[in-house]
Structure 1
């Protein structure tokens, strides 16, 4: 007898995550259409924010508001979706918002997926993108619905 290549597994998880002070402030900002970053442990500006600097291990206790625009540093296309996730294909990008030293990972729209070989040319590294806000916001990362090319 041959073992099947796949099995059906169902997870139904319902839980709360304690965000803490740092992520709580970040998410509160998103609700108000503001993207907050922090710094203080060094000169590095973190978005999403980090409670402590990864270089100096000192607290990041200075907050700055960043614009919702930046450079698309890298992206990948998800061709095969998964149950509970967005409909594939879709793109996830690493965005360096203006004024930030780290990348914010988020959905990127505006790509034509009909020509897989030509996707990289549509949004080359360094392309400008901007945040598109969800109409209804509740203090979660999807308060930024996605990023789109800044034209």
Structure 2
């Protein structure tokens, strides 16, 4: 038996092709049901008054139950964005834009696609969208209680 040191294996290629069901729970279930009705539901912390969208069962700052529900308008402002130039299996066809959107009345950001942009030239994207850009939700024709019931947001 040799005692020579060999280079250890540090990576291994693995392929998983999985289908699975996710238990949403009461909070996310209510949020998703609202999307089927073209309503964006949020909840508010009774201690600090932060408004969460997507909603949270408990305030991450105060650690109290957030059981006050409200409906937010489908409009807001882009706080941050990125453009994906490379795709991945099962994902949308690149290029596509994703933004952190602060809906009017919300304390948190909702991450979602932004459509209606000309992404053919990477050098002109900032002219079309950036922090402070007002956007509104565009609803999918067929809704089934998923985040893509909002097909994307578009610049107002």
Give the TM-score taking structure 2 as reference length. 0.88
Contact (CA 8 Å) 2:58, 2:64: kept in 1 or not? yes
Is 1:107 matched with 2:100? no
Gaps of 5+ in 1: 1-6
In the TM superposition, residue 129 of structure 1 has moved relative to its aligned partner by 0.3
Deviation at 1:51, TM superposition (A): 0.4
Give the distance between the partners of 1:77 and 1:124, measured in 2 at CA.
Answer: 11
Find the counterpart in structure 1 of residue 18 from structure 2.
13
Structure 1 residue 135: deviation in Å? Answer: 0.5
Q: Which residue of the other structure, out of 29, 33, 43, is the alignment partner of 2:34?
A: 29
Query: What is the Cα deviation at residue 124 of structure 1?
Result: 2.6
Structure 2 runs not aligned, ≥5 long = 1-11
CA distance in 2 between partners of 1:68 and 1:24 (Å): 19
Q: Which residue of 2 aligns with 1:3?
A: none
Q: Please say if 1:145 is aligned against 2:145.
A: no
Which position in structure 2 is the counterpart of 1:4?
A: none
CA-atom RMSD in angstroms:
1.3
Aligned to 1:51: 57
SS at match of 1:30: helix
Given that residues 102 and 108 in structure 2 are in contact (C-alpha distance below 8 angstroms), is that contact kept between their aligned partners in structure 1? yes
Contact 2:81-2:130 at 8 Å conserved across structures: no
| CA distance, structure 1, for counterparts of residue 13 and residue 155 of structure 2 | 38
Q: Which one has a bigger Cα radius of gyration?
A: 2
| Structure-1-length-normalised TM-score | 0.91
